[in-house]
């Protein structure tokens, strides 16, 4: 199944694969992190980072250095690398890469819309957006007076248009809580991405559906836990769960009626991969769930990388 793609792979993807391997080598190692832990001041951190790949981005900053500057510059490195790859990519790789940024785009759109609703300045809002999620007409979001105009004027030209139309009517847009809107959009995005990967087939489909299923399930669990005790109704909750993943559909039914952490744990323990995550947490403790899921996600991403690059 994988055999014959390897023959033609390098024509389109060879250069980029080499770049990706290079980036992989540039990630900070455990030794780097140890060094960073030993630092006493921000200048020490800058000094240590200058020996890594982040050096060139930080060396032009005058001291005293601010924590937000360091974060900004490191993000800038990520954005630069991403843009470089995007330029070099052909279809369908370029679409795939763009899909990765839709999540950030959703966040930016939601941010600007809330800011405009509360009458903040557009320039300030633009500065707060995540760089990976910028698109050209983003500044015109602030011009719209209500959600219908917003959709008609701006969003219909962005890749996010289908997510708005298939899940929300215009009345909903007006009085929906902003978080619910964000999560509905994200659900539509995940489903769309999933379909796209399935269409691509091959190794992509297999690896990505695994990762996306994990993401969908993780979001379902988080939404359940975080909405316990809030005004989110069960139906609303169910509407936010994606239509794929290990938990679909029976797990979602159980999660929708959960009212506290232990019920969630009970629902999740029927699925072996998640049971191991929940076994790390003691009863009644919910703070560590995010951390456990994060670790699991990183593990899976590493595996995906190894599989993809080393076969």
Q: How far is the CB of 58 from another protein (least distance, A)?
A: 17
Kindly indicate which of the ranges 35-43, 77-85, 140-148, 214-222 contains the residues binding another protein, using the contact rule CB under 8 A. Answer: 214-222
> Residue 226, interface with another protein (CB under 8 A)?
yes
Range 125-130 contact pairs with CB under 8 angstroms and sequence separation of 24 or more = 130/75, 130/104
Tell how far CA 47 is from the center of its chain.
30
Q: How far apart are CA 29 and CA 32, in angstroms?
A: 5
Kindly indicate which of the ranges 92-100, 175-183, 205-213, 298-306 contains the residues binding another protein, using the contact rule CB under 8 A. Answer: 175-183
Q: How far is the CB of 116 from another protein (least distance, A)?
A: 9
- Choosing from 17, 82, 286, 292, the residue that interacts with another protein (CB under 8 A) is 286
Residue the block writes with tokens 């139309």 = 165
Phi, psi of 260 (to 5 degrees): -155, 175
Residue the block writes with tokens 């921000």 = 42
> Residue 115, interface with another protein (CB under 8 A)?
yes
> Residue 225, interface with another protein (CB under 8 A)?
yes
Kindly indicate which of the ranges 76-84, 87-95, 138-146, 171-179 contains the residues binding another protein, using the contact rule CB under 8 A. Answer: 171-179
> Residue 239, interface with another protein (CB under 8 A)?
no
- Choosing from 95, 230, 276, 307, the residue that interacts with another protein (CB under 8 A) is 230
| Nearer to another protein (CB atom), residue 120 or residue 148 | 120
> Residue 219, interface with another protein (CB under 8 A)?
yes
Q: How far is the CB of 227 from another protein (least distance, A)?
A: 7
> Residue 229, interface with another protein (CB under 8 A)?
yes
| Nearer to another protein (CB atom), residue 108 or residue 204 | 108
> Residue 69, interface with another protein (CB under 8 A)?
no
> Residue 65, interface with another protein (CB under 8 A)?
no
> Residue 263, interface with another protein (CB under 8 A)?
no
- Whether 44 and 65 have beta carbons less than 8 Å apart is answered as no
> Residue 89, interface with another protein (CB under 8 A)?
no
> Residue 118, interface with another protein (CB under 8 A)?
yes
**Binding residues for another protein, how many (CB under 8 A)?**
37
> Residue 61, interface with another protein (CB under 8 A)?
no
> Residue 177, interface with another protein (CB under 8 A)?
yes
Residues at the contact surface with another protein, assessed by CB under 8 A: 71, 75, 107, 110-111, 114-115, 118, 120, 125, 128, 130, 177-180, 182-183, 186, 218-219, 222-223, 225-227, 229-232, 240, 286-287, 289-291, 294
């Amino acid at each position: 199944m994988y055999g014959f793609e390897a023959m033609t792979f390098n024509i389109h993807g060879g250069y980029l694969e080499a770049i990706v391997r290079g980036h992989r080598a540039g990630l900070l190692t455990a030794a780097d992190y140890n060094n960073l832990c030993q630092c006493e001041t921000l200048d020490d951190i800058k000094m240590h980072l200058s020996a890594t790949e982040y050096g060139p981005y930080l060396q032009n900053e005058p001291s005293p250095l601010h924590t937000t500057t360091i974060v900004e510059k490191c993000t800038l490195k990520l954005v630069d690398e991403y843009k470089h790859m995007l330029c070099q990519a052909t279809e369908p790789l370029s679409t795939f890469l763009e899909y990765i940024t839709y999540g950030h785009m959703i966040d930016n759109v939601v941010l600007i819309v809330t800011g405009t609703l509360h009458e903040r300045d557009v320039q300030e809002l633009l500065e707060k957006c995540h760089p990976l999620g910028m698109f050209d007409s983003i500044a015109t979001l602030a011009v719209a007076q209500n959600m219908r105009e917003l959709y008609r004027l701006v969003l219909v030209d962005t890749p996010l248009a289908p997510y708005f139309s298939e899940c929300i009517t215009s009345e909903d847009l007006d009085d929906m809580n902003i978080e619910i809107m964000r999560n509905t959009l994200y659900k539509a995005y995940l489903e769309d991405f999933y379909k796209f990967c399935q269409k691509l087939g091959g190794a992509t489909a297999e690896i990505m559906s695994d990762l996306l299923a994990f993401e969908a399930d993780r979001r379902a669990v988080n939404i359940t836990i975080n909405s316990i005790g809030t005004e989110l109704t069960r139906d609303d909750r169910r509407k936010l769960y994606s239509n794929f993943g290990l938990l679909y559909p029976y797990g979602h039914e159980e999660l929708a009626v959960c009212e506290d952490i232990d019920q969630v744990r009970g629902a999740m323990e029927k699925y072996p991969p998640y049971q191991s995550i929940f076994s790390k947490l003691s009863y009644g403790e919910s703070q560590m769930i995010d951390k456990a899921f994060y670790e699991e996600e990183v593990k899976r991403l590493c595996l995906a990388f190894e599989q993809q690059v080393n076969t």
